[in-house]
Homo-oligomer: A and B are copies of this chain.
Amino acid sequence: MSKEPPNNSREKTKNLLLKLQDNICKNLENIDGKAKFTEESWLREEGGGGRSRVLKNGSIFEQAGVNFSEVYGKELPQSIISQRPEAKGHEWFATGTSMVLHPKNPFIPTVHLNYRYFEAGPVWWFGGGADLTPYYPYLSDVRHFHKEHSNACEKVNKKLHLVFKPWCDEYFFLKHRNESRGIGGIFYDYQDGSGNIYKGSNKDGNAYKESNNIGELNLNWNNLFALAENCGEAFLSSYQPIIEKRVSQNYTKEEREFQLYRRGRYVEFNLVWDRGTIFGLQTNGRTESILMSLPPLARWEYGYKAKQGSREDLLTKIFTRPQDWQNDKVLEEFCLENNIFD
């Protein structure tokens, strides 16, 4: 089996990602039970377009946005060509499905997912991932989310998750706050089967180190297609049980306020650090679709500090730091003792 894309690579990935959007939306409507998605299709002047779906004011989701797009053009922006000079002079194609869910109940985490595929001449790659941003700390929820995604990766190769987990911690990081956006998940980019799997630029990080230890995995196009498929499918089983567990927990005005405050961090990450968002906004992308990731309501408060030892404090100090959620026994003990295990 060739390492290279099949002839119908664009159609295959497009259909995979359309199906993913459909499947997620259908299930989210069922889970919500009240609100429905509305859809807007849009065309991009330079080529291609998309299908943006948003659900507002649901019984569970304050806002859910699920975007599909398929865009193409004759010449890539200079910023991409300087990264991958082989792509120069070729027409290009990019397709992706991305999703951000902002639940109303502060005990249900915000979640993000994005799977994408890119081609330009001889250059092609897969990218994607999913990450969870809790407002209140529950180790069991975090473990469940990670477990489902690690299973999905391991179906393709046992080693992948060892790199994609720290890569996620590295990517979703607010340097100006010295905080992770949440408890992570998986993240990968520029996957074309060549070389080591970590393609980021931080040679001091764990993703680089793990990837270096592992060496080349020689995945082919079909493996990477299956990876996107598995991980995309894993989303619902990783998240739905958390909703079901938390949705009936009543919350106070103060807990809601803390959620809105932490949502401010979500805004900060997306607008200051998220490469996809910034690139989209600066290069004439469809603003409303790109910024669908922002929360419907967010709060800032100068100098806010959670009360020492409170759940808000534990969220900030423990659940916005990269951790070995699955295996760290000290962390497990701590969470059990502090009633933030389950």
Contact = CB atoms under 8 A, between A and B. Distances in A.
Interface of A: 40, 52, 54, 56, 63, 65, 175-177, 260, 264, 267-268, 271-272, 278, 281-282, 284-285, 287-288, 290-292, 294-303
11 contacts: A40-B303, A65-B302, A176-B284, A176-B285, A260-B297, A268-B291, A272-B281, A292-B302, A294-B300, A296-B301, A298-B298
Number of copies: 2
B271 A288 contact: no
Given A56-B302, A298-B299, 8 more contacts: A40-B303, A176-B281, A264-B294, A272-B272, A288-B303, A291-B302, A292-B302, A296-B301
A302 B57 CA distance: 12
**Chain A contact surface mostly:** mixed
Contacts of A63: 302
Contacts of A303: 40, 54, 288
Pairs A-B, 9 closest by C-beta atoms: A271-B271, A176-B281, A294-B300, A54-B302, A176-B287, A271-B272, A292-B302, A297-B299, A298-B298
A292 B301 CA distance: 8
Q: Which of A52, A294, A298, A302 has the most CB of B within 10 A?
A: A302
Contact of A272 (B278, B284, B299): B278
Nearest to A38: B303
B175 A282 contact: yes
A164 to B, nearest CB: 26
